[in-house]
Amino acid sequence: MVPADGRRPIRIAAAVVLATLLCGLFSALLDTTVRQWLSDPVFRYGLWIPFLAAALTWFRWTRLQVGIIDFDRRGVWLLAAGVLLHGAAVFGAVPYADVIAFLLCMAGSIRLLAGQQMLFALWPVIGLVWLMFPLPDPLGRFAAESLQRDGAGRAAWCLQLLGLPAIAQDRSIHMAAGILPAAEAFSGIRIVMPFLAAATVYVIVSRRASWEKLLLTFSAVPIAIAFSTVHLTVTGAVLSAGYQKATVRFLAEAGGWLMLPVGLLMLFFECRLIDWILIEPKMLSARVAPPVYDMAPNPAPDPPPRHASAEAAEGTVTPSAAGSSCV
Q: Tell me the pLDDT of the chain (327 aa) as tens digits.
A: 444 555 677 878 888 899 899 999 999 999 999 998 998 888 889 999 999 998 888 887 776 655 556 788 888 999 999 999 999 998 887 888 999 999 999 999 999 888 888 888 888 899 999 999 988 877 777 777 888 888 888 989 999 998 888 888 888 888 887 888 887 778 778 888 899 999 988 888 888 888 888 998 999 999 999 998 999 899 888 888 877 777 778 888 888 889 999 999 999 999 889 888 886 654 444 455 555 444 455 555 666 665 555 555 555 544 444 444 443
My answer on whether 211 and 196 are in the same domain is: yes
My answer on whether 118 and 144 are in the same domain is: no
Longest dimension (CA), the chain: 134
Q: Across-strand partners of 173?
A: 168, 180
Length of the chain: 327
Which of 282, 297, 319 lies at the terminal end of a domain, its last residue? 282
Q: How many structural domains does the chain have?
A: 2
Element (H, E) at 174: strand 172-175
Any residues with CB less than 8 A from the CB of 5 and at least 6 apart, and which? 68, 69, 70
My answer on whether 155 and 261 are in the same domain is: yes
Going 253 to 190 to 124 to 98, the CA torsion angle's sign is: negative
325 part of a folded domain: no
Alpha-carbon Rg for the chain, nearest whole angstrom, is 36
My answer on whether 130 and 15 are in the same domain is: yes
Q: Which spans in 93-209 are helix H?
A: 95-114, 116-131, 137-140, 144-161, 193-205
Reduce the DSSP state of residue 172 to 3 states and report it: strand
My answer on whether 20 and 125 are in the same domain is: yes
My answer on whether 164 and 215 are in the same domain is: yes
My answer on whether 14 and 109 are in the same domain is: yes
Res 145: pLDDT: 80
Res 252: pLDDT: 82
Res 35: pLDDT: 92
Reduce the DSSP state of residue 180 to 3 states and report it: strand
178 part of a folded domain: yes
What is the reported pTM?
0.74
Q: Would strands 178-181 and 172-175 be described as parallel, antiparallel, or unpaired? A: antiparallel
The C-alpha angle with vertex 196 and arms to 19 and 159, in degrees rounded to 5, equals: 135
- The parent domain of residue 109 ranges over 8-134
Asked if 75 contacts 111 with a C-beta cutoff of 8 angstroms, the reply is: yes
HSE on the CB side for 64, CA within 13 Å?
Answer: 22
186 part of a folded domain: yes
Which of 134, 160, 184 lies at the terminal end of a domain, its last residue? 134
My answer on whether 255 and 269 are in the same domain is: yes
145 part of a folded domain: yes
Q: What is the C-alpha separation between 263 and 198, in angstroms, rounded?
A: 6
Which of 112, 134, 156 lies at the terminal end of a domain, its last residue? 134
My answer on whether 99 and 144 are in the same domain is: no
My answer on whether 84 and 166 are in the same domain is: no
Q: What is the 3-state secondary structure (H, E, C) of 28-67?
A: HHHHHHHHHHHHCHHHHHHHCHHHHHHHHHHHHHCCCCCC
My answer on whether 43 and 110 are in the same domain is: yes
My answer on whether 177 and 156 are in the same domain is: yes
